[in-house]
């Protein structure tokens, strides 16, 4: 009873925090945020990573922070800090969902919902990798949804970190190009072309992944039919 009460209280606090963040998200001043982080000196990366993780848990738009990371830290370190912040936030959301409602969902999942959960769990890290490369579902919501399955934490975190890299690099570079444009940099055209190439590659990834999965499915069919005939 005591544990159930704590879970209910935690869920209420989370819902309240998310609702408050969404209600006031239009008041988020990106320029002021960048100025505050850049003025933090050596602690700026840690502050930025913490803000990114918190934003992920509270359903705030990560794309805005990813662009800010590129503008603040450049394409290389910006990508690194963005990935760490996003992965940390994804892990926190995953653990919150698992400890607040994971057992409850597993115990009550029936029919189609149970089959969906079982299918996700059977894929494991491969499912996480696919959803990170091909963002069919909202990133923040998916973090919580995956926490309701029995996918293990470490493979989840590693797949998130590795397979978010293409998108993180593209949008971080775009943020870097935006800063260069405002500064009137001489290499603006070159950097802009690189950013466009990265965005095009990320946009092409879903089609490439779909083709690879189709080929894998076709390759697996003869094996399955062979086992059935033996």
Whole-model pTM? 0.81
In a domain, 33, yes or no: no
Q: What is the pLDDT of residue 230?
A: 47
Range of the domain at 132: 2-17+43-218
Domain total of the chain: 1
Beta carbons within 10 angstroms of residue 215's beta carbon: 10
Q: Is 168 a domain residue? A: yes
Q: What is the DSSP letter of 25?
A: G
- Per-residue pLDDT tens digits for 51-95: 999 999 998 888 889 999 999 999 999 999 999 999 999 999 999
Banded model confidence at residue 149, pLDDT cuts 50, 70, 90: confident
What pLDDT is recorded for position 94? 93
pLDDT at 195 over 70: yes
Domain for residue 225, yes or no? no
193 within some domain: yes
**Confidence (pLDDT) at 118:** 78
Tens-digit pLDDT profile for residues 153-170: 999 999 999 999 998 998
Residue 174 belongs to a domain = yes
Q: What is the mean pLDDT of the chain?
A: 80
Give dist(CA 110, CA 112) in Å, integer.
6
59 domain-assigned: yes
pLDDT tens per residue across span 203-219: 777 676 667 666 766 66
CA angle in degrees (0–180, nearest 5) for 122-84-100: 55
Q: Residue 36 falls within a domain, yes or no?
A: no
């Amino acid at each position: 009873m005591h544990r159930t009460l704590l879970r209910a209280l935690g869920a209420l606090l989370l819902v309240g925090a998310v609702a408050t963040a969404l209600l006031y998200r239009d008041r988020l001043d990106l320029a002021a945020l960048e100025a505050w982080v850049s003025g933090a000196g050596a602690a700026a990366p840690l502050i930025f990573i913490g803000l990114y993780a918190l934003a992920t848990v509270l359903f705030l738009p990560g794309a805005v922070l990813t662009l800010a990371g590129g503008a603040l830290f450049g394409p290389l370190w910006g990508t690194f800090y963005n990935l760490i912040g996003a992965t940390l936030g994804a892990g926190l959301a995953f653990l919150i969902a698992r400890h607040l409602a994971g057992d409850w969902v597993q115990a009550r999942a029936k029919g189609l919902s149970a089959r969906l959960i079982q299918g996700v769990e059977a894929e494991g890290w491969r499912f996480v990798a696919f959803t990170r490369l091909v963002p069919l579902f909202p990133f923040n919501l998916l973090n919580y949804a995956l926490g309701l399955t029995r996918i293990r934490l470490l493979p989840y975190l590693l797949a998130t970190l590795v397979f978010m890299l293409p998108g993180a690099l593209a949008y971080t570079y775009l943020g870097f190009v935006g800063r260069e444009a405002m500064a009137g940099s001489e290499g603006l055209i070159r950097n802009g072309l690189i950013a466009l190439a990265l965005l095009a590659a990320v946009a092409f990834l879903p089609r490439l992944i779909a083709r690879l999965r189709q080929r894998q499915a076709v390759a697996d069919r003869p094996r399955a039919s062979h086992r059935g005939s033996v």
